[in-house]
Structure 1
């Protein structure tokens, strides 16, 4: 079972923040525990920093694998200059490196079907260069997902989708892959 965390919870905010902020909180909690608590209770005070330590480690791990802003810009600029044939081949190779079985689809709503661990994911990326990404393409992708009985679907684009489309994607469980996430996919080694 996958637990969902509110986007505005303290831990969600810390996961998106630089890792050292969580580690600084751990240090402050530890110092305050030693300074303010009686000696027998210091260990309990220090344990209060444990969740922040875990969040700091998770944030550091995530940030360690995140490409620099310059590499993100370079990868997205390069992808924007590619033809569909080159871009689709690059995306196909990226998913193969992640261990997916990749099937190209002749479907206007979805370009690839990925299968890994018995779970099918439909991927739409043909409109990766579009200036605006609205709800229509996402509706078509969700309909294709249901028609093919896939468990998940992803929509790849160079630019972000509209707010309406973002809300629709969240409600329908469509993974939006753009910006840093798309660059990370394109820059896999």
Structure 2
């Protein structure tokens, strides 16, 4: 089960930041607790730093396992050079490795139907090579999601998503996968 958190919450910001920032906050909590609290209460003050410590560990793990910028650029370059058939196969394999049952769709709005347990997700990626992505394709994806009773939608792109499209996607709960996210999705010894 994937928990949703606001992109502007402190913990979400710390997860996107270098791991050591969370660890600095842990040190600040510990030092402030030692300096400001009576000795019997210092352990309780230090325990207030526990969430920041956990976030720091998660951020460090993610950053350690993230592909290097050179690997991201290489994966995106290869994806941009692919035909739709090859790119669709790479996407299908990537979601299959994540445990989804993947069905290709013959639809203008969505290219794949992912099923995992009871959850249905529609994926649109056919326009992945477009230089810029606007709201129109996202509106079509939302309409297809409603028509098929899907729980969520994913939009895949190599190019830039406009600010309006990004706001629309956030308002509609569409996950945008591009850049590092796309490279991580398709970079595997079994794909590309």
Which TM-score band (shorter chain)? Answer: over 0.9
Task: Name the SS of the counterpart of 2:160 in structure 1.
Answer: coil
- Equivalent residue for 2:130? 130
Report how far residue 2 of structure 1 moved: 7.3
Taking the TM superposition and a 5 Å limit, the aligned residue runs for 1:49-64 are 49-64=49-64
- 1:4 to 1:24, Cα distance in 2 relative to 1, 3 A: same
Q: Which segment drifts farther, 161-170 or 33-42?
A: 33-42
Cα RMSD (Å): 1.8
Task: Tell me whether 86-95 or 63-72 shows the greater mean CA deviation.
Answer: 63-72
- Is this contact kept in 2: 1:160–1:179, CA < 8 A? no
Task: Give the structure-1-normalised TM-score.
Answer: 0.92
SS at 2:99 equivalent: coil
TM-score normalised by the chain length of structure 2: 0.91
1:28-47 mapped onto 2 (5 Å cutoff): 28-47=28-47
| Aligned counterparts of 2:106 and 2:96: Cα–Cα separation in 1 | 19
Q: Where does the alignment leave 5 or more consecutive residues of structure 2 unmatched?
A: none
How many angstroms apart in 2 are the aligned matches of 1:57 and 1:179?
24
> Over residues 134-186 of structure 1, what are the superposed CA-to-partner deviations in whole Å (9 max), with x where a residue is unaligned?
01111111111111111111100012310111111111111111111111101
Could you report, residue by residue, the CA deviation over 1:27-73 in whole angstroms, capped at 9, with x for unpaired residues?
23223333443321211221121121121122123223321111111
1:163 aligns with 2:163: yes
Aligned to 1:75: 75
Larger mean Cα displacement after TM superposition, 29-38 or 136-145 = 29-38
Q: Distance in 1 between matches of 2:145 and 2:160?
A: 21
Worse-superposed segment, 27-36 or 98-107: 27-36
Superposition deviation, residue 87 in structure 1: 0.6
Matches within 5 A, 1:68-107: 68-107=68-107
Q: Note the residue ranges of structure 1 that are not aligned, 5 or more in a row.
A: none
